[in-house]
């Protein structure tokens, strides 16, 4: 999963920088040229690690812009690329001279090629496809060469359209087989509590269903082609509304993302959407999406949102089609602009949308989700009491490092975590699990404050900018929890999560359990309003620039950038072998080190290292963990497959084989850790009045009872022994 993983992290991230480093005037009457001049200047002056705009930079912009417009190589011809190539090392000079020749040429040619394609696909889809022919398609588009002629381009489109139609044809054939057995697609999919499309087998119960009349295979093939054509018609209708400024924004983003993947240009509408996301007012299905090549991928599930509550989709799933509840046919969003795809997926609260999903494991299924607004309450810290063999432990789940932007003291993650610790202590907690899995970060200040709940005083993180390094410290001598502590992380634990986990690891205050390493985002971004430089602006809103301006370092001097936090005890999960971290972006900033801050490790344990070794030994013998690792490897292998059969029988056989292969991993979801989970008394009282809260906690506890990572965390807490002489005592930290 490369590029544009828009996980939003730190409090400073949303601040509008005042950037007073220039007296330069920007007064070009051409808005595009002015934007190019302004953005390149701000980047050179304000970016944490500005790149030299030279021939190498030019070549990267050249490759990425062309790939961004035509990732599947279905528009440009080899002759176009040959013509473009004369600019490969000239874009740097054009940026400096406010010359748009390269952009203009590529933009004009792209529009020409799109018009050509508009004539190709209706003609191709007017004739039946032969799905008995032995044929495959290679979807390794990165290594595909450009077509050398219109004839070759048409052949490429024909093969791609055959692939698209085959997918729809397969769905129609399977649906007809099920209906012949008395199983309807509505019975399988329209009930939001039903199982996956590929698994549900419910008899028809509605008397209002239309009479079923089987269609011939030829009729089903024709319908599949008509659906494919309808989807492309809609796609090209969307593109008709795009203006030059939309493509120019893509060009500007290609330039700025060469600096690092988190530096982005926001055209005015994008800035509005960004502000809306940061406000927490998230509507729709509650998932963040990314476009890679022509496919829309789920990159984050928003805690508390409809997708999260449905438990039907996960990070890494690809959305292939979208169907509204009042529509008969689904619309393919393959190849669609992400903004246009989002418009189809979003909708009024209470309405249902059916998503055709290519799951992480490669299977395809329909998921029905009822749109809603994100329930912010579910993004807050929550705790559970764990009982095991008459011993009592606590678990606090923290989905993000939240805070009130208007008033930090109003409510924030640190004060909530503190409250939960105190409540758990009242119930006799002997050890604490802090669950940071899937936590993408948030407020830096709350991360520092939470670290302070477990140590007396001292540095928590170092922040570098403009050649200066600031050490952020916990200055409160109170230690709220001085007992055994385990922190759970995974590949999606990022930024502020990494700061907290790293600090607790460096102090040897907690044992970190989870993925081989966390996400690896060690940078901070500021959002800069580009209009502030323009004294007299008759050109309208210029948008904003989100720019990397700082970098994090652990108290031991190491960066969390790329490296993340390496778990003390590694437990694989299904993301273990797929590209999902900062290291898998294009142009990430490098890992480096600075001098360590002055700190002393916590001396409250007597068997810290022994406990880690015991846990590793248990994990090496754990059969469930071996099965999870096999599942992760299987998922990786499926995602790496580049050849797809276009023969119907072979295509169907491969899908059936995948279904059978995945059955051996069912035991992962059937696991029972034999731990007892209970809500705290204050929440139990609330649940008597709030049945929704009661159901949420039941579901959470059910999931926790299948969680072997929590089980191992409890084993580690059992093994950790406190130095009774020094329990709770932390050596003084020198500033």
**How many CA atoms are closer than 13 Å to the CA of 604, on its beta-carbon side?**
22
Give a yes or no: residue 251 inside a domain. yes
Give a yes or no: residue 275 inside a domain. no
CB neighbourhood size of 425 (10 A) = 15
Token digits of residue 414: 């640190």
Assign 14 a pLDDT band (cuts: 50, 70, 90). Answer: very low
**Is the domain of 82 the same as that of 148?**
yes
Assign 187 a pLDDT band (cuts: 50, 70, 90). Answer: very low
Average pLDDT, integer, range 427-447: 94
pLDDT in tens, 567-591: 999 999 888 888 888 988 888 999 9
Give a yes or no: residue 519 inside a domain. yes
Average pLDDT, integer, range 129-148: 94
**Contact assessment for residue 462 and residue 470, using Cβ atoms and an 8 Å cutoff:** yes
CB neighbourhood size of 123 (10 A) = 11
The 3-state DSSP class for residue 537 equals coil
Element (DSSP H or E) covering residue 513: strand 511-514
**Is the domain of 296 the same as that of 336?**
yes
Q: What is the pLDDT of residue 575?
A: 84
Taking the C-alpha atoms of residue 355 and residue 385, their distance in angstroms, rounded to an integer, is 37
**Is the domain of 391 the same as that of 371?**
no
Q: What is the pLDDT of residue 424?
A: 97
Return the CATH number at 293.
2.30.42.10
Average pLDDT, the chain: 85
Paired residues of 468 in beta bridges: 465
Answer yes or no: is pLDDT of 178 > 60: yes
Q: What is the pLDDT of residue 28?
A: 61
Average pLDDT, integer, range 641-647: 93
Q: What is the pLDDT of residue 406?
A: 63
Who's near 692: CB < 8 A, 6+ residues apart? Answer: none
Q: What is the pLDDT of residue 701?
A: 95
Assign 219 a pLDDT band (cuts: 50, 70, 90). Answer: very high
**Contact assessment for residue 446 and residue 436, using Cβ atoms and an 8 Å cutoff:** no
Rounded alpha-carbon distances, angstroms, from residue 560 to 71, 231, 517, 546, 685? 31, 43, 10, 20, 41
Answer yes or no: is pLDDT of 680 > 70: yes
**Is the domain of 341 the same as that of 431?**
no
**Is the domain of 143 the same as that of 37?**
yes
Domain count of the chain? 3
Assign 442 a pLDDT band (cuts: 50, 70, 90). Answer: confident
The 3-state DSSP class for residue 324 equals strand
Answer yes or no: is pLDDT of 477 > 80: yes
Q: What is the pLDDT of residue 10?
A: 34
pLDDT in tens, 258-287: 999 999 998 876 655 554 444 334 457 878
C-alpha angle 493-494-498 in degrees, rounded to nearest 5: 90
Give a yes or no: residue 200 inside a domain. no
Q: What is the pLDDT of residue 189?
A: 41
Q: What is the pLDDT of residue 376?
A: 59
Give a yes or no: residue 612 inside a domain. yes
**Is the domain of 134 the same as that of 48?**
yes
Average pLDDT, integer, range 535-539: 69
Report helix angle 31-46 to 244-256, nearest 10: 20
This prediction's pTM: 0.78
Taking the C-alpha atoms of residue 312 and residue 303, their distance in angstroms, rounded to an integer, is 13
Answer yes or no: is pLDDT of 308 > 80: no
The share of the chain scoring above pLDDT 70, in percent, equals 86
Taking the C-alpha atoms of residue 339 and residue 189, their distance in angstroms, rounded to an integer, is 26
**Is the domain of 371 the same as that of 384?**
no
Q: What is the pLDDT of residue 300?
A: 76
C-alpha angle 264-345-272 in degrees, rounded to nearest 5: 35
Average pLDDT, integer, range 312-319: 87
Taking the C-alpha atoms of residue 712 and residue 49, their distance in angstroms, rounded to an integer, is 41
Residue corresponding to tokens 């829309």? 296
329 burial via Cβ count (<10 Å: 0-12, 13-18, 19+):
middle
**What is the rounded (10 degree) CA torsion for 46, 49, 55, 59?**
-100
**Is the domain of 328 the same as that of 444?**
no
Return the CATH number at 531.
3.90.226.10
**Is the domain of 235 the same as that of 321?**
no
pLDDT in tens, 188-199: 443 333 323 222
Give a yes or no: residue 647 inside a domain. yes
Taking the C-alpha atoms of residue 306 and residue 286, their distance in angstroms, rounded to an integer, is 6
Query: Which of 375, 390, 407 is at the close of a domain?
Result: 375
Query: Which of 375, 393, 415 is at the close of a domain?
Result: 375
**Is the domain of 523 the same as that of 438?**
yes
Taking the C-alpha atoms of residue 423 and residue 228, their distance in angstroms, rounded to an integer, is 57
306, 168, 177, 182: which is closest to 227 by C-alpha? Answer: 168
Give a yes or no: residue 24 inside a domain. no
Answer yes or no: is pLDDT of 640 > 50: yes
The share of the chain scoring above pLDDT 90, in percent, equals 58
**Is the domain of 621 the same as that of 649?**
yes
Give a yes or no: residue 713 inside a domain. yes
Assign 291 a pLDDT band (cuts: 50, 70, 90). Answer: confident
Element (DSSP H or E) covering residue 603: none
Q: What is the pLDDT of residue 204?
A: 35
Query: Which of 331, 352, 375 is at the close of a domain?
Result: 375
The 3-state DSSP class for residue 409 equals coil
Taking the C-alpha atoms of residue 126 and residue 225, their distance in angstroms, rounded to an integer, is 8
Average pLDDT, integer, range 88-111: 96
Assign 213 a pLDDT band (cuts: 50, 70, 90). Answer: confident
Domain, as residue range, for 495: 380-719
Query: If you average pLDDT over each of 276-290, 604-618, 633-647, which comes out highest?
Result: 604-618
**Is the domain of 564 the same as that of 639?**
yes
pLDDT in tens, 321-335: 898 888 877 888 887
Assign 551 a pLDDT band (cuts: 50, 70, 90). Answer: very high
């Amino acid at each position: 999963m490369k590029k544009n993983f828009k996980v939003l992290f730190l409090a400073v991230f949303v601040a509008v920088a005042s950037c007073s480093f220039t007296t330069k005037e920007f007064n070009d009457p051409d808005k595009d040229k002015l934007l190019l001049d302004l953005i390149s200047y701000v980047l050179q002056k304000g970016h944490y690690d500005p790149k030299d705009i030279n021939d190498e930079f030019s070549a990267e912009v050249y490759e990425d812009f062309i790939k961004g417009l035509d990732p599947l190589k279905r528009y440009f011809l080899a002759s176009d690329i040959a013509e473009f190539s004369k600019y490969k090392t000239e874009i740097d000079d054009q940026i400096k001279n406010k010359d748009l020749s390269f952009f203009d040429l590529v933009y004009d040619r792209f529009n020409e090629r799109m018009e050509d394609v508009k004539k190709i696909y209706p003609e191709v889809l007017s004739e039946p496809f032969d799905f008995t022919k032995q044929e495959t398609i290679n979807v390794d588009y990165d290594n595909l060469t450009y077509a050398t002629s219109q004839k070759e381009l048409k052949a490429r489109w024909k093969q791609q359209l055959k692939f698209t139609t085959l997918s729809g044809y397969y769905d129609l054939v399977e649906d007809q087989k099920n209906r012949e057995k008395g199983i309807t697609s509505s019975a399988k999919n329209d009930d939001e509590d039903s199982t996956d499309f590929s698994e549900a087998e419910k008899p028809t119960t509605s008397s209002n269903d239309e009479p079923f009349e089987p269609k011939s295979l030829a009729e089903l093939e024709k319908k599949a082609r008509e659906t494919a054509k309808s989807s492309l018609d809609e796609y090209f209708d969307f593109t008709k509304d795009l203006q030059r400024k939309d493509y120019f924004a893509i060009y500007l983003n290609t330039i700025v993302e060469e600096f690092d993947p988190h530096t982005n240009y926001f055209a005015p509408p994008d800035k509005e959407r960004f502000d809306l996301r940061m406000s927490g007012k998230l509507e729709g299905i509650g998932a963040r999406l990314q476009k890679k090549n022509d496919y829309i991928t789920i990159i984050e599930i928003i805690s508390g949102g409809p997708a999260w509550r449905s438990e039907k989709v996960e990070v890494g799933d690809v959305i292939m089609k979208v169907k509204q509840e009042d529509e008969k046919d689904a619309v393919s969003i393959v190849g669609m602009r992400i903004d246009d795809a989002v418009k189809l997926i979003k909708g009024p609260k209470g309405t249902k949308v059916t998503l055709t999903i290519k799951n992480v494991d490669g299977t395809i299924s329909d998921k029905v989700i009822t749109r809603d607004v994100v329930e912010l309450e579910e993004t807050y810290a929550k705790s559970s009491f764990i009982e095991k063999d008459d011993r009592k432990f606590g678990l606090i789940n923290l989905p993000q490092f939240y805070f009130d932007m208007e008033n930090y003291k109003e409510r924030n993650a640190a004060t909530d975590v503190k409250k939960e610790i105190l409540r758990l202590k009242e119930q006799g907690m002997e050890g604490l699990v802090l669950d940071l899995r899937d936590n993408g970060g948030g407020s830096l200040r709350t991360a520092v404050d939470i670290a302070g709940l477990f140590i007396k005083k001292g540095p928590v993180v170092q922040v570098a900018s403009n050649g200066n390094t600031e050490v952020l410290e916990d200055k409160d001598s109170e230690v709220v929890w001085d007992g055994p502590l385990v922190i759970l992380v995974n590949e999606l634990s990022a930024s502020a999560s990494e700061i907290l986990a790293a600090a607790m690891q460096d102090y040897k205050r907690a044992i970190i359990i989870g993925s081989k390493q966390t996400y690896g985002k060690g940078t901070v971004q500021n959002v800069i309003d580009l209009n502030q430089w323009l004294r007299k602006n008759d050109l309208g809103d210029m948008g904003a620039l989100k720019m990397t301006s700082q970098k994090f370092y652990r108290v031991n001097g190491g960066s969390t950038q790329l490296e993340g936090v390496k778990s003390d005890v590694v437990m694989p999960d299904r993301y273990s072998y797929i590209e999902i971290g900062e290291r898998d972006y294009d142009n990430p900033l490098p890992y480096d080190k600075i001098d360590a801050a002055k700190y002393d490790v916590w001396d409250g344990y007597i068997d810290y290292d022994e406990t880690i070794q015991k846990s590793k030994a248990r994990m090496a013998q754990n059969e469930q963990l071996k099965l999870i690792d096999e599942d992760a490897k299987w998922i990786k292998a499926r995602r790496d497959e580049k050849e797809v059969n276009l023969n119907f029988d072979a295509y169907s056989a491969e899908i059936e084989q995948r279904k059978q292969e995945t059955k051996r991993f069912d035991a992962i979801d059937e696991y029972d850790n034999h731990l007892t989970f209970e809500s705290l008394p204050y929440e139990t009282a609330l649940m008597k009045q709030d049945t929704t809260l009661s159901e949420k906690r039941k579901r959470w506890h059910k999931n926790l009872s299948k969680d072997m990572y929590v089980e191992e965390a409890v084993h580690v807490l059992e093994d950790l022994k406190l130095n009774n002489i020094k329990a709770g005592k932390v050596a003084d930290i020198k500033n």
